[in-house]
Every structure is written in structure tokens, then in C-alpha cells.
Amino acid sequence: MTATTAEPIWKGAQGEERFYVPEFVIAVRQGNPDVADVPAKPLPLTVVRDIKRVTYKDSLTEIDSFELEVNNWDAEKRALKYAGTLLDGKPGAGPGELFEPGRTLELHMGYHGELHLMMIGQVTTLEPTFPAGGPPSLVVHGLNVLHRYKKQQHTFAWFDKKPSEIAEDVGRQKPSDDLPGIGIEVRTSREAKEHEQQEPVTFMSGQFDIVFLVELARRHGYSLLLREEKVARKVKRYLCFEPSADDRAPVYRLDWGFSLSSFTPTLQTARQVSQVTVRGFNRRTGRPISGTARWGQDGIVLNRDQQSVAQAVATNEEVVLDRPVRNAAEAKALARDLLLRQLKDMIKGSGSTVGLPLLRTGRTVEIGGLGVRFSGQYYVTETTHTIGDDGYRTSFSARRERPLEEKKA
């Protein structure tokens, strides 16, 4: 997935990284707007100069999005420039059609000479502002093209399955009320699948099927991309569920007072429990089903250095009665998964640093300079990348999983 040794952000393949000239490129998709392999044409410089701010957001539990803040006023002509323009009596014609709802855009961010594709998205919302003082402006919102598959929500569990196998199952299944499915082929990497481990339980709870796939991909450092190919003169669309093209990204080391501009961690013990028990009922045999996971068992190692703090106040047991299980082994696997989720939420935080286009949801970052309790290895759950008048900044949310001196299991 990523390198296992963290490195300071100023060290790169050539010995250093430079953060001198932030840059972004927005390209308009030509032809078919729904696929990732269609050529795109960059916006002309006259339009780029009107873009005052570019923001990209991704999250572990949501489809990624972008936002553009655009100057919407032509001072020379004293007329609207984009949203609200008319040409030959047709709304949206001329420059305004660049940001029409449904238009597909590519967003690249980074620094001069090294840009990275952040997303391929569709314009979904136009938000013009006509202030009492100052020129009109326009905010353009968009979502990843995958949002078109956001149709149904399900609660479901897979047992003893690899991530790639689950992704293939969801793609293969047609949309229905009973089972998760999006009805489009999901292709996975054979090499990645060989190195994947079967997970005792993988659970989705009231999620849209496509959002669950996005989360599953990000949890394992994968990408989920919409692509197409021509077969017998017909176009066939499919999804790629495979390791990210930016898998070379390092595990960054961020230290407060140096590369980490700010960070606010939170240690919360109120919701911690000492054990989780999942109970069910076997309709075929008429017997109850039960499985329990406790702190100290193998595999439950997150924030081991802080467990004594949580255990001092968390002595209660959580009993779960509304999750589907078929036998005691599945009940125990689900209980372990729920307990691990509780531990992951014990220490969370949010911070900001210099713009890092490869610092994305699903990555790991080492944070130092916060003292023994809060310094550690953090798993990134959300990022916001912004390029504007004040340069390029990346803010992020993350959860702590290990102290710095403890190596990954």
C-alpha cells in the first residue's frame, strides 16, 4: 500500500521537495462525460485567471467533491461573465457553458512541474452571489462521477472474504432491495488479490452501495475508477478496484512547529467498552448464537499504550442484538470488528500542513511533537486541499492507531 518508513515532507526522490509555486489545472472532458479515458481540454488562461479558489475534499465515508470560486463579473463590459450570461438568447451559451450542471471536469493540483489528478467530477450545483458591495461571484460544486451509482442503501455483512472479492460481488449483483449491488463489472488486480488477506468480517451499515465500495477501496489504499472499453463496436463501462496509481506516496512525517502548522487531538473514553458481545438466533436449529471480543485478545492492538487509560473508566459491556450472524464464529468476528471500531475512535484529531496532493484519505501519517500521549501513527479519514490567494494548504482529520515507537503489526 504505502512505504512503511516515514520521511519528512522536505525529503523526496531527489533529496528534497519544493513547495514554491502551487498550481492547479482544470480540464473539460470532451465527448462521453462519464468515463476516465476520454481526452480532456484544459480551461483557457482567461478563465483560469477568474478562478479565485479551488478546493478538493475526500472522506472515508463520502464520495469526493470539488468546489471552485469564480469571478463572475466582466468589469470592462460591465456584464456577467459565467452564470447568468446570455448569448443569442440562449442561457448558458458562451463562457457560461463551461460550468453548466452535468459538465465533467478533471481537477489536477500540486506544484509547478508535478501535478496530480485529484478527481474526475461532474458539476452538480451553481451558487452565484450578488453582493451589496463588490462584484458578483460564482461557486461551482461538483461530485466524483461515481455519484451516479448512488442509488440504494443496505446493511450487510461478508465473512472470510478478501476486499477484492467483496468488490466483485457488489459489482456483479444487480441493484435490489435485499442485497448490495450496483450492476456494473468491477475488475480487480490479480497481483493485489494474491497479497490480500481474508477478513473475518466486513460490515456495511445503512450505506449506499457505491459509497461502501469507495470506503472499502480507501481503507486498503486502493482507487475506484470508472473506465470504458470498446467491444465489438460497443462501449462497455466497468469499475477498476485496484492499488492507487499514487501508491508510491510516502508515509509523511509531520512535526508540530515545523511541517505541521496546527493540530487538535481529542482523547475520548466515554464511549469505550471493555468487551462487545454479539447475540443472535439460529432459526433452523432453534438455538441462540453468541460471540464475545475483549481487550487483550490477539489482533486488538490499536493504541495499546493508551488502553490502561480507557480501561480505568470503561468497564461496561456492549451487547449487540440487531446484526445478522449465522453461527458463533461469525458472531465473534463481528464482535471483534465492533470493538476495534470503538478503539479507533479513542484518539482523533484534525490539523493542517503545507499542500500535499498525495496526502489523501486512507493514507498513514506520522505526527510528532505532541507529547507521548498524542504523538503517533494516524490513519487519515478526511482531507481538504485548497489553493487560493494564500497558497496551497492541506487540512485533514485522522485517528491515532499506534505510538511512534511501535512498528506496524
Chain-wide mean pLDDT for the chain? 82
Q: What is the pLDDT of residues 133-164, one digit of tens each?
A: 889 999 999 999 899 898 889 988 888 899 99
Task: Note the pLDDT of residue 230.
Answer: 67
Q: What is the mean pLDDT of residues 308-325?
A: 68
pLDDT for residue 88: 42
| DSSP assignment string, 72-91 | -EETTTTEE-STT-EETTEE
Distance CA 142, CA 160 (A): 37
pLDDT at site 64? 93
Split at pLDDT 50, 70, 90, the class of 403 is: confident
Tell me, what's the pLDDT at 293? Answer: 78
Note every long-range contact of 378-384, with CB atoms under 8 Å and residues 24 or more positions apart, other chains counting. Answer: 378/349, 379/344, 381/59, 381/60, 381/348, 382/57, 382/58, 382/59, 382/60, 383/57, 383/58, 383/359, 384/55, 384/56, 384/57
In one-letter notation, the amino acid at residue 62 is E
Name residue, grid cell 497558497: 391
What is the tens place of the pLDDT at every residue in 20-43? 789 999 998 776 555 555 678 899
What is the residue type of 348? K
pLDDT tens for 201-223 read: 888 888 999 999 999 998 887 88
Percent of the chain with pLDDT over 90: 35
Given a cut of 60, whether residue 93 has pLDDT beyond it is no
In this model, does residue 1 exceed pLDDT 60?
no
Ordered DSSP codes for 125-140 = EEEEE--SSS--EEEE
pLDDT at 3 over 60: no
Q: Higher-confidence residue: 337 or 350?
A: 350
Least confident of 64-68, 301-305, 389-393: 301-305
Q: Per the structure block, which three cell numbers stand in for 211? A: 459509497
Taking alpha carbons only, the member of 153, 82, 114, 95 closest to residue 13 is 114
Domains of the chain, earliest start first: 22-144 (2.40.10), 150-243 (3.55.50.10), 275-344 (no CATH)
What per-residue confidence (pLDDT) applies to 86? 46
For range 251-260, the mean pLDDT? 90
